Amino acid sequence: MLKNKPANISAILLWIVVALIGASAVGGIAIHRGESINALWFITAAICVYAIAYRFYSAWIASKVLVLDETRATPAERFDNGRDFIPTNRWVVFGHHFAAIAGPGPLVGPTLAAQFGYLPGTLWILFGSVLGGCVQDMVTLFVSTRRNGRSLGQMARDEIGRFGGVAALLGTFFIMIILIAVLGLVVVNAMKHSPWATATVAATIPIAMLIGVYMRHIRVGKVLEASALGVLLLLGSVMLGGWIDHHASWRTWFDHEGLFLAWAIIAYGFAAAILPVWMLLAPRDYLSTFMKLGTVMLLAIAIVFLSPQIHMPALTQFGDGTGPIFGGKLFPFVFITIACGAISGFHSLIASGTTPKLLANERDIRMIGYGGMLLESFVAIMALIAATVLEPGVYFAINSPAGVVGKEAADAVAMISSWGFSVSVEQMQHLAEQMGEVSLFARTGGAPSLAVGMASIFGSAFGQGLLAMWYHFAIMFEAIFILTTLDAGTRVGRFMLQDMLGNIWPKMGQTSWWPSVLISSGIVVAGWGYFLYIGVIDPNGGVNILWPLFGIANQILAAIALSVGTSILVKSGKAKQAWITGLPLVWLLSITTTAALEKLFSQDIRVGFYAAANDLSAKLASGLLPADKAAVAPQLIFNQHLDAWITVFFLLVLWVVVLDMLVVLLRFRLGKQHPPSTEAPYQKTMLEN
């Protein structure tokens, strides 16, 4: 059993001080209404909230709810095979787990949600994580560890019923498709008509392949050496991009429309899914992990030492649903937009299956499950800071799609200024020149505005002269792990599809049979490629549609994980404490259901799929649309209907799983037959730790 040390007076005093500082920082952020507020308030609030939640809430969950048992042998010990089951040092497991859960999500979501002002996003990231996301990760890690490291889908099937398992599988597959499409769109928008960014991102592909060959054939398995070489080459690629950008003829080779870039990414995704992992995926992942850790640390240091001022107001008028970046009211859309960083269902796939097979001792579950998510939440807070240090006018000019504010710079500036966020054409022109770009208007998706924010933070630390370098470094940093997620996701989608198709035609289930590889990779790439294509031709920027859809899907997966957790807690006699997962579940049910219903039935054409489709049909029929818009209108109308069907599907999956779980709990309560808890029997640990 985990025992708390007897509390002494100085420890009590210390925690009272932490609580007071934390409360005043959160309160300060909430009631502040001045011109600007210092970023240190956010860092202080975050650290105090995390410290208190970790010290008290996670300790209570560990000792009283889950009852972690450090004498119990973990699957890693019982099945130790030196390959996937390996008892591993807790810090090493923490590193693996964090590298796996932290992708581009916590950078993009908070940046987009900043349209509501800094306050809603900050509060949701802080309290959503300590009460929701961290609990989900920790409980899922625990229940999977007690079940020999079984995956979420298998546990859903065992504990809730066959439908739960199928729902988790289908949910994961569709999230993957939507996620890859929206991430692809983010990269396309960052590279559109930017020779520097395009050349740099393109250079990461041969660099990754070179490192792959190096690790595979030249210096076999020398991971660190190869990665260090790769990071140097990546930094070189940022400079090379700058050189190309200044070269009159070379730059035209890398200056492209969004549509061309979308096709390039689709072709790349297909190639990456069928190439052997050592050639592209594995080396790219090493590079992106090192870049990610390095850049996040650098950003944290820069924010603490420079303590930049936040210029975004606490709340903007866009809480009413008229926001330019995405339509929809503050409730529920801030909770949908920020999924990763507060609560992300995808984590439950890592916390089950992969991480449990490495745990040397059950007591590490607290640090890795709860603590790992706290760190991701902190990354989200830093992304929010980097987005809100920009002047609000600049932030909206970069992130608002042309379909909302107009194609011409003068129109966009007039529109944004009319909302009360002053910005001028000259200011945007000057900023674009500083960043080494032709224009920064309507670069939707969050990556460019985050890069401008990061560049201005780094620039004030290391000199303004390098702003353009920092901007493209930040773009490269985001692109490299977006592309890693794209490669890995397409591959996972391919395996899942092969598995599903294998049920119908066993030959398709053979993961190394070439026709199966080509067909299933093709289907997965076509799936996300379609949404990426529509996102690029949509004058409203695509992000407006895709990101909320991704958020809904991710939160629904979280609801499935929390349903599994809740049912296991109740079945193991912890009904009284099952609210730790039950309350976040109720919250997610209400936000996802509200958001999904609004996406279906809202009359606002920027929110409701049907409203948008009907509006566009009417305009098309009356001949009001200009020729270029009329040409794509039928595809957009079809897409709105398709999105509506996907939303209905998500809603059905969610409610059937939850109702299925409630039936299981009811039968348990009444003493009727129900799926039993499938915990592996106790075995004493032989490891010394």
Dig out the tokens for 291 from the structure.
């870049």
- For 364-384, give the DSSP string: HHIIIIIIHHHHHHHHHHHHH
Residue (178 or 389) nearer to another protein, CB: 178
Asked if 311 and 36 count as a contact pair (C-beta separation under 8 A), the reply is yes
Residue (286 or 395) nearer to another protein, CB: 286
Residue (308 or 345) nearer to another protein, CB: 345
Q: Cβ 2 to another protein, closest distance in Å?
A: 24
Residue (96 or 571) nearer to another protein, CB: 96
Give the CA distances from residue 313 to residues 34, 114, 294, 466, 469, in Å, rounded to whole numbers and listed in that order. 8, 10, 30, 29, 29
Distance CA 159, CA 565 (A): 9
Eight-class DSSP state of 72: B
Residue (352 or 400) nearer to another protein, CB: 352
Q: Cβ 138 to another protein, closest distance in Å?
A: 16
Q: Cβ 454 to another protein, closest distance in Å?
A: 20
Distance CA 645, CA 560 (A): 20
Residue (347 or 443) nearer to another protein, CB: 347
Q: Cβ 207 to another protein, closest distance in Å?
A: 18
Q: Cβ 129 to another protein, closest distance in Å?
A: 15
Residue (183 or 367) nearer to another protein, CB: 183
Asked if 118 and 314 count as a contact pair (C-beta separation under 8 A), the reply is yes
Residue (58 or 88) nearer to another protein, CB: 88
Residue (187 or 611) nearer to another protein, CB: 187
| Closest to 189 measured CA to CA, from 269, 242, 259, 258 | 258
Distance CA 676, CA 658 (A): 17
Q: Cβ 667 to another protein, closest distance in Å?
A: 31
Residue (154 or 640) nearer to another protein, CB: 154
3-state helix, strand, coil in the chain (%, to 5): 75, 0, 25
Q: Which residues touch 639 (CB under 8 Å, ≥6 apart)?
A: 534, 538, 545
Asked if 54 and 371 count as a contact pair (C-beta separation under 8 A), the reply is yes
Asked if 369 and 351 count as a contact pair (C-beta separation under 8 A), the reply is yes
Residue (96 or 443) nearer to another protein, CB: 96
Q: Cβ 219 to another protein, closest distance in Å?
A: 10
Q: Which residues of this protein are in contact with another protein, per CB under 8 A?
A: 82-84, 86, 88-89, 91-92, 95-96, 100-105, 172, 179, 183, 215-216, 220-225, 227, 276-278, 281-282, 285-286, 339-340, 344, 346-347, 349-350, 353-354, 484-485, 488-489, 491-492, 495, 511, 550, 554
Q: Cβ 96 to another protein, closest distance in Å?
A: 7
- Three-state DSSP state, 684: strand
Q: Which residues touch 466 (CB under 8 Å, ≥6 apart)?
A: 458, 459
Q: Cβ 224 to another protein, closest distance in Å?
A: 5
Residue (184 or 392) nearer to another protein, CB: 184
Q: Cβ 300 to another protein, closest distance in Å?
A: 19
Q: Cβ 339 to another protein, closest distance in Å?
A: 8
| Closest to 129 measured CA to CA, from 492, 354, 372 | 372
Distance CA 139, CA 48 (A): 23
Q: Cβ 233 to another protein, closest distance in Å?
A: 17
Cis peptide bond prior to 584, omega within 30° of 0: no
Residue (121 or 324) nearer to another protein, CB: 121
| Closest to 617 measured CA to CA, from 638, 597, 602 | 638
Asked if 325 and 112 count as a contact pair (C-beta separation under 8 A), the reply is yes
* Range 529-562 burial, b when 16+ CB lie within 10 A, else e: bbbbbbbbbbebbbbbbbbbbbbbbbbbbbbbbb
Q: Cβ 286 to another protein, closest distance in Å?
A: 7
Q: Cβ 353 to another protein, closest distance in Å?
A: 7
Distance CA 655, CA 582 (A): 15
Distance CA 278, CA 295 (A): 25
Q: Which residues touch 269 (CB under 8 Å, ≥6 apart)?
A: 180, 184, 486, 487, 490, 525, 528, 529
Residue (213 or 415) nearer to another protein, CB: 213
Beta bridge partners of 580: none
- For 444-510, give the DSSP string: TTSHHHHHHHHHHHHHHHH-GGGHHHHHHHHHHHHHHHHHHHHHHHHHHHHHHHHHHHHHHSGGGG-
